[in-house]
Amino acid sequence: MAGDNCLHVKGQTCPFYLRRCIRRMLKTNIDSLPDDIVFDILVHIPAQDIYNATRLVCRKWYQMILTHNFIHVHLQHSTCGLLIKNWLDRTSHPTFVAMPQGRIEISKLSDKFNHLFLSSCNGLILEFDCLKSYVLYIANPVTKQRSALPTFSANTTSDCSAIAYAATSMEYKVVNTCYFMNGNTDEFEQHCAILTVGVDKSWRRVNIQHLSLTAKELLKRTPFATEGFVHWAQNNLRVVNGEPQYILTLNVETEIITQIPVPLVHSERLGYYHYLSMGSYLSLLIECSEFSWEVWEMKPETGEWTKMPKIDLEAQKCTFEQLCCKYDSCGSLTCSLLPVGWLKSKEVLVFNVFKEHTLPIFISPWFCIAYNVRTREIYSIELDSICNTFLVHRNSLVWLDGC
């Protein structure tokens, strides 16, 4: 927002800390500074500030910022957070929540994004246009670039798609669950299709013949991604006590799907299983009570699960209920917490909050709770709506040209 603490740069504005940085560099003569020092300074500036202001300061900076090396290094320095979008209101601006300096920062993205958010990878968003059948887009909310993907030649489900990055081949791949007609039975059969962005002109089938019938049913679930992998599981669903559970994991480099057993918890309470992406790892929270969860971590490369310290918030239950009372116009104290994502891997967990009824009714005005599992600090995050999509995301300058 423009004001006394902002500097105008060719019609754009930049925040106060960036203004001071620019002034100091101008006083010392930009051309006299070694390129490596300028590079090291610029890669620590947030992507939206670089795109809106920094790249316009001078030709030298502009050319440096456009290089693949700069975009790659800047991506490594970017802070991972949660991108929150109201999926009912096509005109709303997405909210980005992160903790770059150990404190929660909330910002609004300038692009409205009229499509549904499905997945995020390296700052690229996979979108679905619900007004045009089976049309998927890849977009960067910072640079406002958008590209349509080839359409399907088969029936597909809009929300069963995800994007992931194959680091070895340096390619982005999109995965989708689809249905093809069986010529022998005239019935639709479920399949998994994959597309290498910028390479494939049409979608290719992924082999699923080795999967059990139970495992194939998981392909109907909404997929979620970690670095280099796409997963399907019974996410946010109550699991029958003692019933074996599996997760399907697709390695986007090899394009092979693996069926991996999931840890079982034997408890009197039939808890929910919540799968959350943690960058290169997958986090599983198994509900033990309304305010406690067992935590497991899976390394996708091996499928090995590691048990982490349990999250038990029973002692803080009164604090959460007081927050609900503060935000709820009806003054209700009873609430439940739904894990939706990590702000800092293994450290700050974000919960959506809703009241206990026959159906979940979210608090109005709507808010989330961030809980620091290390310091036990509790933060409240106000939102614009209750119908939100939560994606693990980082703002970047990446686009589909090899970056």
Each residue's pLDDT tens digit, 201-238: 989 999 999 998 888 888 888 899 999 999 999 876 66
- Statement: residue 8 has pLDDT above 70: no
pTM of the model: 0.83
Find which of 174-178, 302-306, 359-363 is predicted with most confidence, using mean pLDDT.
302-306
Report whether 99 contacts 343 (CB < 8 A).
yes
Query: One-letter amino acid identity for 31?
Result: D
DSSP 232-295: E--TTEE--TT--EEEEEEETTTTEEEEEEE-----SS--EEEEEEETTEEEEEEEEETTEEEE
Report whether 389 contacts 84 (CB < 8 A).
yes
- Statement: residue 158 has pLDDT above 60: no
202 contacts: CB under 8 Å, gap ≥ 6 = 150, 153, 195
Query: How high is the pLDDT of residue 231?
Result: 95
- Statement: residue 364 has pLDDT above 60: no
CA distance 328 to 319: 14
CA distance 77 to 69: 13
Query: How high is the pLDDT of residue 227?
Result: 92
Query: One-letter amino acid identity for 308?
Result: M
Reference 382, options 317, 327, 322; nearest CA is: 327
Pairing of strands 95-98, 272-278: unpaired
Q: Which of the four pLDDT bands, split at 50, 70 and 90, describes residue 126? A: very high
111-115, 208-212, 346-350: range with lowest mean pLDDT: 111-115
Query: How high is the pLDDT of residue 184?
Result: 61
CA distance 181 to 155: 9
Q: How much helix, strand and coil, in percent to the nearest 5, is found in the chain? A: 20, 45, 40
Q: pLDDT digits over 304-318, tens only?
A: 999 999 999 888 887
Report whether 245 contacts 273 (CB < 8 A).
yes
Strand partners, 350: 341, 370
